[in-house]
Chain A
């Protein structure tokens, strides 16, 4: 089964600074999708950014960007100009791209708690 690893249980960043959250994954698939989700104290899961493995260009959404290294199976999230509202749990997630009927599950890492200091 595919696994997703987030090696940083907690991170902190000064407001307006940049922080990078790490994620690695293990898969034998060649085509898949990777996601970063944010979970604020309300516990509502919010999609931050999405990357398709077949695309070489790294995804960007405003202040959020990823560094996708397919060979290294690495998918880090960079948050620029950090804001107080960015404080949350961040989860990395993986989903295979497959036509097989029973291979459509979505796997999450253990999460990184981000604190933003004013």
Chain B
């Protein structure tokens, strides 16, 4: 079945460590997005990518990095520079950012221990 797969579902990180969240889609979508969700703040855009090998910063890109080497994959790395990384992270994709709505993965809950 086509869809977006985020892994892992739960992730624990020690302070000072980098960690990578996986996002894979087999929908042949061009655009992909990463959002962070905190209680009471809705979804905030971290990074988005319209095509392979290109990506743009969103509102809260500091402390995060991404890559888009393949159309199907858009991993997010949470670096040690991110001071408050505990949150729920959502990945989304869209076939045409000018006309299509976004399809979401099931999310990754990251906790710093």
List residues of A whose CB falls within 8 A of some B CB: 1, 6, 9, 33, 35, 42-45, 47, 50, 91, 93, 95, 97-99, 101-102, 104-111
Taking a contact as CB atoms under 8 Å apart, the answer to whether B41 and A110 are in contact is: yes
Which residues on A sit within 8 Å (CB–CB) of B90?
A: 45
Q: Is the Cβ of A104 less than 8 Å from the Cβ of B48? A: yes
Q: Indicate if the CB atoms of B56 and A44 lie closer than 8 Å.
A: no
Q: Pick the contact of A109 from B31, B42, B104 — CB < 8 Å?
A: B42
Partner of B42, one of A95, A99, A111: A111
- The 5 A-B residue pairs with the shortest CB-CB distance, nearest first, are A104-B97, A45-B104, A110-B42, A108-B43, A108-B42
Q: Does A43 contact B40, Cβ atoms closer than 8 Å?
A: no
Chain B residues touching A, range? 20 to 34
Binding site for A on B (CB under 8 A): 31, 33, 35, 40-45, 48, 50, 56, 58-59, 88, 90, 92, 94, 97-99, 101-102, 104, 106-107
Q: Report the separation of the CA atoms of residues A95 and B33 in the bound assembly, to the nearest whole angstrom.
A: 13
**Chain A neighbourhood of B106, CB < 8 A:** 42-44
Given contacts A50-B101, A108-B35, A110-B40, contact A43 B88 (CB under 8 A): yes
Q: Nearest-CB distance from B87 to chain A (Å)? A: 12
Contact among A106, A107, A110, A111 with B97 in the assembled complex (CB-CB below 8 Å): A106
B43 touches A91 (CB 8 A): yes
Contact check, B107 vs A105: say whether CB atoms are below 8 A apart: no
- Do B48 and A105 touch across chains, with their CB atoms under 8 A apart? yes
- B71, chain A: closest CB distance, angstroms: 16
